[in-house]
Structure 1
Amino acid sequence: MTTAPAAETTAANTAAETTVGRTVTVGSTTLSADAAPVTAVAPTRVEVVRERLETWWGVTRRAIAVITRTVRPLGWVLLAATVVLWWVALAFGWQEMIIAAVVLTAIVVLSVPFLFGGTAYDVELDLTRTHVVVGERAIGGLSLVNSTSRSILPSRVVLPVGSGRGEFDVPRLAPKAEHDELFAIPTTARGVLAVGPVSVLRGDPLGLFERSSDRRQAVDLYVHPRTVALEGLSLGRLRDLEGLPSTQLASDDVSFHALREYQPGDDLRHVHWKSTARVGELMMRQYEETRRSHFVLGLSTHPSDYDGAEEFELAISVTGSLGRRALRDSRMLEARTQRGPLRTDGGRRLLDSLSALDYSRPRDGGIVALAGTIAAESHAAAIVVLMCGSGAAAAELKLACARLPQGVRTLAVVTDSSVDSPLLRRVGDADVVRIGALDQLAPAIRKVLSS
């Protein structure tokens, strides 16, 4: 018996395995190289029918969605009237009904071609200011350019603003032509308004059908709450000037710690000029952070803590006013609600967070739960200001102040729409002031500082 060399046998097997359409023999089993997998099972008729039904339903659902968006309320009324008139005309043979049905059908048929045509505008939405105060107007501009090589028929442009919308008529634009629109958005309430996306509409003159296509992403317009300037009120100095030092270093505080080299962005007011003259380089003072820098604002968002939306809005304005003053005094600011902390890395960030606030869920707890969260999370607080409305009972307010750590100066600001002038009283170790308007905040704080 003659045996082939091992190398030749391996080469022959490799060639056989890589040749499409040929057979491969492994032991006593013969396999086809292009045969279907042994585990492959042909789909049953039920599965084929189910797959086709799912495809058909998907197409039908998309078509229904397109029709629903296209037909306006007046269009639905006209379509329903057309169907009813045709049914009555054919059922009873009334010639008057036939004429009316033909007229309505002609109106529908003539209105459909207005949906066709290009709306390929290049749309540019520009808001000059994306942060305004309640009562101010946000001015913006809308620019549409026909970047195609053909004319675009007249159309309408819709600009949604919050729950409302504005409409602009765009004339016929020749190729490369441009059309500009200016608009002003009045603001009557605090909030975050979504301006856009811009939609280009095509439809018939009667308003039966309408086709829209979005051209630009929405822009957020922040409507900040009203605030009042608290000039000359050193809120962070309600504790002693030396404070309680910590292990963290800061660029501005009371307790001097060491010197370091100047870095871009450092405040030149903290240059140590004697060391600078000796070393030949700018040397900056470095301070040891003290507890007097930690200023905590607690704003209750529980519905039961307020007697109406007016008190809630006033509490938000008080929080913004105190927060801006604390940031100007270079304090370490924290602001919290029952839903979590607010952004305090700048006055605008704080007001942006306040603009988006709404009432919290009832299960989140009221002013007492908020004070407990502050006591657990803000260990280095020097002064805590709690804000709530007249809906919070005196016993709840007293318990909330008692929950804060020992040695923390506590101030509670209660917004009460029935108060004509600021009222100050003591509740345990805390000062409690009641105000009925934002302009009463500064006199109320002065009373606290002088007491």
Structure 2
Amino acid sequence: MTAVAVGLALGYPLLLVVGSGMAAALVTAVVLVGRQPRWQVSREVGPDQVERGESALGRVTFRNTGRTRTPAVTAYDAVSGQLAVPVALVALDPGGTRFRTYPLPTQRRGRYEIGPLTIRREDPLGLARRSAVMATVEELWVLPKLHPVRRVPSGRGSGHGAATAETLFRGSSDFRSLREYVLGDEVKNLHWKSTARAGQLMVREFTDPWRPSVTILLDNRALALSPDAFEEAVEVAASVHRAAVRADCVVTLALTAPDPGGPAGARHHLDRDMQRLCLVAQQDAPAVAVPTGGASCLVFVSGGESAVDRATLSTLKRRADLVIVVDLASSGEAPGVPYVAATSADAAVAQWNALVGR
């Protein structure tokens, strides 16, 4: 517009032509982008639970519900508010429908929020742009990669103190303790006197003293393992956990340092332990928090000097019939208990199978 004004004031026809062309281009861009097509857009994530490195896809359904042809646009699907995955959507005739699938990142374990899906439109010259949010947010759980653990030793036996609130056997007759109510607990196990005192729902917890009990103690202290080694340790812990559950053991997952970012309760079809392993992070804590209660077998997943600390191992031995140490820093020092030393989850599980599979 300035060029038009200068051209008129000074009598320069060239400036007048250039300015008029620029003004026309700007008006055209605003008209093209300003008209809102009638779209119907939905997005699905499937599967919504995968192991690290497995394939997870977003699937966008794009439908033209208007009477005119919609332009080709690019949509961007946000991943946990950071990475934006571009999705090219073609032009559609009235009533037309198209589907587009695209890979979602699964290289790191964790819970990812997929969305919202944002459609951005701009004119060919890039003079005007418009965005519209078209789809809701969904969840994608990336579990630690699970390796084939053949067997988990059950120790010499099990005791009444072995189980925890996360994995106790429902329906057995031995009362263990009271704990807070979580979704899925049976109403008949509510303890009303304790509920009144605590101001929140409390339930009675029961355990079966005849089932083998396995405690997996994951060292999530920052001083024990490097970030990369910690990821390998999480995969070992998850793999042993799955094998113990499949063997019908009472399984307890414990951490050496409190993790304030862990889940408060089970959500959709994931159990609480797998959620914790999805979300667990390293913490600044100097000492090992030894789990209370006994177990048939206790698996200590740590690294370096922390894995072979005599005081820690002495305390753990008093908590279980059998203690197995998995050292992901591969210090190479045998601490007087069954011992696995490796620098990767693959190698650690291979040594585990050789050690306990005999």
Deviations 1:133-178 (A, max 9, x none): 2332223421122334x3253142413252131121331331x332
Counterpart CA distance in 1 for 2:19 and 2:152 is 79
C-alpha change, 1:188 and 1:405, in structure 2 (3 Å) is closer
Note the C-alpha offset of 1:328: 0.6
Give the corresponding residue for 1:388: 302
Counterpart CA distance in 1 for 2:311 and 2:356 is 23
For 1:41-440, what aligned pairs fall within 5 Å after superposition?
104-148=22-66, 150-162=67-79, 163-174=83-94, 176-185=95-104, 187-231=106-150, 233-235=151-153, 237-238=154-155, 240-241=156-157, 243-245=158-160, 250=169, 289-290=208-209, 293-307=212-226, 309-337=227-255, 338-339=258-259, 348-349=270-271, 350-360=273-283, 362=284, 365-366=285-286, 368-371=287-290, 374-375=291-292, 379-390=293-304, 392-393=305-306, 397-404=309-316, 406-408=318-320, 409-416=322-329, 419=330, 423=332, 425-426=334-335, 430-440=337-347
Partner of 2:295, secondary structure, is coil
User: Is residue 169–residue 250 contact of structure 2 (8 Å, CA) maintained in 1?
Assistant: no
User: Is residue 204–residue 210 contact of structure 1 (8 Å, CA) maintained in 2?
Assistant: yes
What letter matches 1:438 in structure 2? A
User: Is residue 201–residue 213 contact of structure 1 (8 Å, CA) maintained in 2?
Assistant: yes
Counterpart CA distance in 1 for 2:133 and 2:21 is 34
What letter matches 1:411 in structure 2? I
Bigger Rg, which one:
1
Counterpart CA distance in 1 for 2:129 and 2:239 is 47
Note the C-alpha offset of 1:324: 0.3
Give the corresponding residue for 2:194: none
What letter matches 2:326 in structure 1? V
Note the C-alpha offset of 1:199: 2.0
C-alpha change, 1:294 and 1:100, in structure 2 (3 Å) is farther
Give the corresponding residue for 2:351: 444
Counterpart CA distance in 1 for 2:89 and 2:138 is 21
Counterpart CA distance in 2 for 1:247 and 1:299 is 17
Deviations 1:350-406 (A, max 9, x none): 44432333333x2xx14x3333xx23xxx243333222233x5567x3333344472
Deviations 1:200-227 (A, max 9, x none): 3332123343222222212222222222
User: Is residue 323–residue 347 contact of structure 1 (8 Å, CA) maintained in 2?
Assistant: no
Partner of 1:171, secondary structure, is coil
C-alpha change, 1:302 and 1:426, in structure 2 (3 Å) is closer
C-alpha change, 1:192 and 1:326, in structure 2 (3 Å) is same
User: Is residue 162–residue 294 contact of structure 2 (8 Å, CA) maintained in 1?
Assistant: no
Partner of 1:172, secondary structure, is coil
**TM-score, length of structure 1 as denominator length:** 0.57
User: Is residue 116–residue 202 contact of structure 1 (8 Å, CA) maintained in 2?
Assistant: no
C-alpha change, 1:415 and 1:103, in structure 2 (3 Å) is farther
Structure 1: unaligned runs, 5 residues or longer: 1-81, 256-286
C-alpha change, 1:288 and 1:164, in structure 2 (3 Å) is closer
Structure 2: unaligned runs, 5 residues or longer: 175-205
Give the corresponding residue for 2:185: none
What letter matches 2:344 in structure 1? A
Partner of 2:63, secondary structure, is strand
Counterpart CA distance in 2 for 1:247 and 1:191 is 29
Note the C-alpha offset of 1:426: 1.8
Note the C-alpha offset of 1:194: 2.5
Q: State the structure with bigger RCO (CA 8 A, min sep 6), 1 or 2.
A: 2
C-alpha change, 1:122 and 1:198, in structure 2 (3 Å) is same
Partner of 1:384, secondary structure, is strand
What letter matches 1:130 in structure 2? D
Counterpart CA distance in 2 for 1:345 and 1:117 is 42
Note the C-alpha offset of 1:314: 0.5
Counterpart CA distance in 2 for 1:293 and 1:300 is 23
Counterpart CA distance in 2 for 1:180 and 1:109 is 33
C-alpha change, 1:244 and 1:207, in structure 2 (3 Å) is same
C-alpha change, 1:426 and 1:311, in structure 2 (3 Å) is same
User: Is residue 64–residue 70 contact of structure 2 (8 Å, CA) maintained in 1?
Assistant: no
Query: Which structure has the highest helix share of the two?
Result: 1
User: Is residue 194–residue 219 contact of structure 1 (8 Å, CA) maintained in 2?
Assistant: yes
